[in-house]
Chain A
Amino acid sequence: MCLASDPGLTFECIATHASIRCVLGRIVACLHSERLSTDRVSDVQIVLAEALNNIVLHSGCAPTDRITVTLKLRAGRLEVEILDCGNPMTEPLPRPCPLRPETLPVQELPEGRFGWLILHKLTQDIAHRRVGIHNLLSFSITAQ
């Protein structure tokens, strides 16, 4: 099975930061073996870390709850689906706040709100829907 096959590749972890680190390591190794460029692998690692840690921090998932990541390579794009069993996400998806931190005094610099900004800058087609008791977050990233 490979990324370009119809079902793609599926990875599972549980809703803890340690498990997410572990699955990110497996995914990065897989993407390198599929000959994605170092820069694209970097993008995928960054956006998956944001999306998965967001689930751990904000979804209400228990630490034993399973998260499934499916990656599929199609027409030069890596399609990503993330399934979790946390609380329904806020509708619509949060929009990133445009940041101009260089205009702010040091003590007023933001310490958060970076995650969605990063996700929106590195991905396209971000969508969320509720599937039964699960959240399904999907997006794509250029693979070239």
Chain B
Amino acid sequence: MDIQLQSHPKADIVHVGISRIDAGCAIQFKDSVRALLDKLGDRVILDLGQVEFVDSSGLGAIVASMKILNGGGSQLELAALQPNVNKVFRLTRMDKVFVIHGSPAEALERRVS
């Protein structure tokens, strides 16, 4: 799975390079995030700019990733949600749970305590 880690003084950015996080790859996505756990600091930005579609399984995998990172002492924030993806977060009220930024650059400029 194309997931790239870019470390930055203010946060670690995880770029997701796939167009869908759905039932066909949700487990693989979660495992890929879990594999990064040892390399991540206390603030992680998941860049979803290339992800055009997330279904309920994909949403579950993102929530699971948040829980995994939280258990390891990291806070997961999201960036660059495409309209389809944003709609799924809104419908399930998960937009009230995650800190969501317009872009990774915006996330780096804004520190959320």
Q: Interface of A with B (CB < 8 Å)?
A: 17-18, 20-21, 38-39, 42-43, 45-46, 49-50, 53, 56-57, 99-102, 106-107, 109-112, 114-115, 117-118, 121-122
Q: Given that A21-B24, A50-B55, A111-B63 are contacting pairs, would A102 and B88 also be in contact in the complex, using a CB cutoff of 8 Å? A: no
Q: Which of A53, A106, A114 contacts B67 (CB 8 A)?
A: A106
- Docked-complex contact B92 and A56, CB < 8 angstroms: no
Asked if B83 and A42 sit within 8 Å, CB to CB, the answer is yes
- Docked Cα-Cα span, A56 to B22, in Å, equals 13
Report yes or no: B67 in contact with A109, Cβ–Cβ below 8 A: yes
Q: Which of A20, A38, A109 has the most CB of B within 10 A?
A: A109
**Contacts A101-B92, A102-B93, A118-B92; is A53 near B84 (CB within 8 Å)?**
no
CB<8 Å pairs between A and B, sample of 28: A18-B24, A21-B20, A21-B22, A38-B83, A42-B83, A42-B84, A46-B55, A46-B88, A53-B23, A53-B55, A53-B56, A99-B92, A99-B93, A100-B93, A102-B93, A106-B66, A106-B67, A106-B70, A107-B67, A109-B63, A109-B97, A110-B60, A110-B63, A114-B59, A114-B88, A114-B92, A118-B91, A118-B92
Q: Does B64 contact A (CB under 8 A)?
A: yes
Contact pattern, B 9-34, Cβ under 8 Å of A = 1, otherwise 0 = 00000000000101110000000000
Interface residues on B, range: 20 to 34
| A17 and B91 form a contact (CB under 8 A) | no
Contact A101 B96 (CB under 8 A): yes
Of all chain B residues, which has the CB nearest A106?
Answer: B70
The 3 closest A-B pairs by CB, nearest first: A17-B24, A114-B56, A102-B96
Beta-carbon nearest neighbor of B75 in chain A? A106
The one of B23, B67, B84, B94 in contact with A46, judged by C-beta atoms closer than 8 angstroms, is B84
- Residues from chain B with Cβ under 8 Å of A122 in the complex: 91
